[in-house]
Amino acid sequence: MQRIYGIRRFCVSSLSSSSASNLTDHRMLKQVLESCKSSSNSKCVLQAHAHIFKLGYGTYPSLLVSMVTAYRRCNLSFIARRLLLWFLSWSPAVSNTNLIIESLMKTGEYGLANKVVRRACDRNVITWNLMIGGYVRNVQYEEALKTLRDMLSFSDIKPNKFTFSSALAACARLGNLHHAKWVHSLMLNAGIELNPILCSALVDVFAKCGDIETSREIFYSVKRNDVSIWNAMITGFATHGLATEAIRVFSEMEAENVSPDSITLLGLLTACSHCGLLEEGKEYFDLMSRRFSIQPKLEHYGAMVDLLGRAGRVKEAYELIESMPIEPDLVIWRSLLSSSRTYRNPELGEIAIQNLSKAKSGDYVLLSNIYSSTKKWESAQKVRELMKKEGIRKAKGKSWVEFGGVIHRFKAGDTTHIETKAIYKLLEELIQRTKSQGFVPDTDLVLMDVSEEEKEENLNYHSEKLALAYGILKSSPGSEIRIQKNIRMCSDCHNWIKSVSKLLNRVIIMRDRIRFHRFEDGLCSCRDYW
């Protein structure tokens, strides 16, 4: 309470008693509004607002946005909206409208920014670029692409290289190949001249959307005089588990006298980690400082811990963490926790969880699974009781597949889809057919002290299985099916999808949190190492 009164006094004294020169300093006025926002004090905001208008700064874009956000923080959204409508009623110059949109996007007010652009009497290419780029920065990727479509409806405004840079970033985050091809075709039709930023964005977006061949074709068709383009290709191959290709591109990069940077080496380490190239990864880590004078950063140490952990060198991974010259972050401890689960090392798993100051639900689940996998049911139960006591819920796996421009999302055991009955019927048929051809469910993954039949039942309806069943249901025979998942795919689903790819002679591409998997003829591009 004392703090609120102090801020109010600051508002009054700063705006009423200051010298004339100070009052004309809009930076001081903005500071006052920031102080008001931090306390959610509506009286302070109203006082500041009155003085700002009295001094003639009411239409100054940065101050206007500060007032809007201050009012919203005080739950006075109706005043914030009226303030914006008042501003737009003056038919401001497009440059001022753009400043308002830019400021709103920076504060996360993308909804208000959208209202401004809809009501603005004048827009230019910068207006639309600010909207599209702002949506991307605020993780509203679908809205970014929707805004691009809206922009294209205005025949007098043409998208430029900045437009397409943001649009490609949105496609990459969504992992949507259909959208990526659409944006690329727009670029070609518009005759956009490619610069290093756009070249690397194109290589990156097709790799992230699962089309590594198109990514490769673009890479070899453009000028490769910037390290960012090489990095995009190396990282793309790494994400697809094509370590040999990543290493080959790095050799070509050296032959063309393009100097690597820290991102290049991170891509190589990631490629080695995804393919179990332990010795090669160690060599690249050593070359960073010895040959390229690049000091390893936190992410490089994280990649090495991941590489060692995946290779079963869990103790060595822990020793590397202990010897790091910088403080390990949560990602590194989670990597150790994950490898401790894979190789059933509860001791190191406990050390990892103790160092996770902000442990999430998945961390506790991993520790519980470590105990369960070693038949320490009592310890596993204690972890789950702790989760219940602390109100920690397990993060649910979700998978999605796109057809006809519509994204269909599934979670384990989902029954909300309009075609649920047909999906489950097909899934049951596929499960029986794959079993008849030798598939055996991996019931060890269901780490509970229950019967084998109950464990098998728990595995049958994982989200990626439902998504695949829907994909098969809606697609034509022989066509590729692309699925995305928000967490790492379990080994039972991985083995089952391999069986389905052989059974139906289909190519199935799965993008999980870790990497891409391309299933074909009963095999996976990861060679069962992920």
pLDDT digits (tens, 9 = 90+) for 249-300: 999 999 999 999 999 999 999 999 999 999 999 999 999 999 999 999 999 9
- State the number of CA atoms in the 13 A half-sphere of 396 facing the CB: 11
Q: Which among 120, 167, 118 is positioned nearest to 142, based on CA atoms?
A: 167
Q: What is the largest CA-CA distance in the chain?
A: 87
- Cβ(235)–Cβ(256) below 8 Å: no
Please report the pLDDT score of residue 27 as a whole number. 63
Q: Which tens digit of pLDDT belongs to each residue from 6-40?
A: 334 434 444 444 433 444 455 666 666 666 555 56
Please report the pLDDT score of residue 237 as a whole number. 96
Q: Residue type for 123, please? A: R
pLDDT at 437 exceeding the cut of 50: yes
Task: Give the helix/strand (H/E) hosting 312.
Answer: none
Query: Can you tell me the mean pLDDT for 451-460?
Result: 50
pLDDT at 142 exceeding the cut of 90: yes
Name the least confident of 12-26, 115-129, 507-521. 12-26
- Cβ(320)–Cβ(269) below 8 Å: no
Please report the pLDDT score of residue 367 as a whole number. 67
Q: Which two tokens stand for residue 204?
A: 């990156």
Q: Which tens digit of pLDDT belongs to each residue from 232-242?
A: 999 999 999 99
Name the least confident of 66-70, 107-111, 329-333, 360-364. 360-364
Please report the pLDDT score of residue 11 as a whole number. 41
Q: Where are the beta strands (DSSP E) in 210-301?
A: none
Query: Can you tell me the mean pLDDT for 376-383?
Result: 70
- Cβ(491)–Cβ(530) below 8 Å: no
Q: pLDDT: is 197 or 4 the higher one?
A: 197
Q: Using DSSP bridges, classify how beta strands 523-524 and 406-411 pair: parallel, antiparallel or unpaired.
A: unpaired
Please report the pLDDT score of residue 120 as a whole number. 86
- Cβ(333)–Cβ(341) below 8 Å: no
Please report the pLDDT score of residue 487 as a whole number. 84
pLDDT at 451 exceeding the cut of 60: no
Q: Cβ atoms within 10 A of the Cβ of 476, count? A: 5
Burial of 524: CB neighbours in 10 Å, binned 0-12, 13-18, 19+: buried
Query: Can you tell me the mean pLDDT for 313-325?
Result: 96
Cα–Cα distances (Å) from 42 to 38, 145, 379, in that order, read 11, 37, 51
Q: Which among 88, 79, 78 is positioned nearest to 113, based on CA atoms?
A: 88
CB under 8 Å to 251, separation ≥6 — which residues? none
Please report the pLDDT score of residue 78 as a whole number. 81
**Mean pLDDT taken over the chain:** 84
Q: Which tens digit of pLDDT belongs to each residue from 146-173?
A: 999 999 998 789 999 999 999 999 999 9
Give the pTM: 0.80
Strand order in the sheet with 406-411: 406-411, 398-403, 481-485, 508-511, 516-520, 523-524
CA angle (413 as vertex; 411, 415 as ends), nearest 5: 90
CB under 8 Å to 300, separation ≥6 — which residues? 262, 265, 266, 269, 285, 288
CA distance 288 to 266: 10
Q: Which among 418, 483, 526, 23 is positioned nearest to 209, based on CA atoms?
A: 483
Please report the pLDDT score of residue 19 as a whole number. 38
Please report the pLDDT score of residue 1 as a whole number. 38
With H, G, I as helix, E, B as strand and everything else as coil, classify residue 418: coil
CA angle (341 as vertex; 340, 343 as ends), nearest 5: 65
Residue with tokens 């811990």: 305
CA distance 64 to 513: 41
Cα–Cα distances (Å) from 335 to 99, 240, 267, 329, 386, in that order, read 43, 19, 17, 10, 22
Please report the pLDDT score of residue 492 as a whole number. 87
pLDDT at 366 exceeding the cut of 80: no
- Cβ(459)–Cβ(445) below 8 Å: yes
Please report the pLDDT score of residue 33 as a whole number. 60
Q: Which among 271, 272, 328 is positioned nearest to 296, based on CA atoms?
A: 328
- Cβ(205)–Cβ(176) below 8 Å: no
CA distance 489 to 412: 12
Report the chain's C-alpha Rg in angstroms.
27
CA distance 374 to 362: 18
Chain-centroid distance, C-alpha 16 = 47
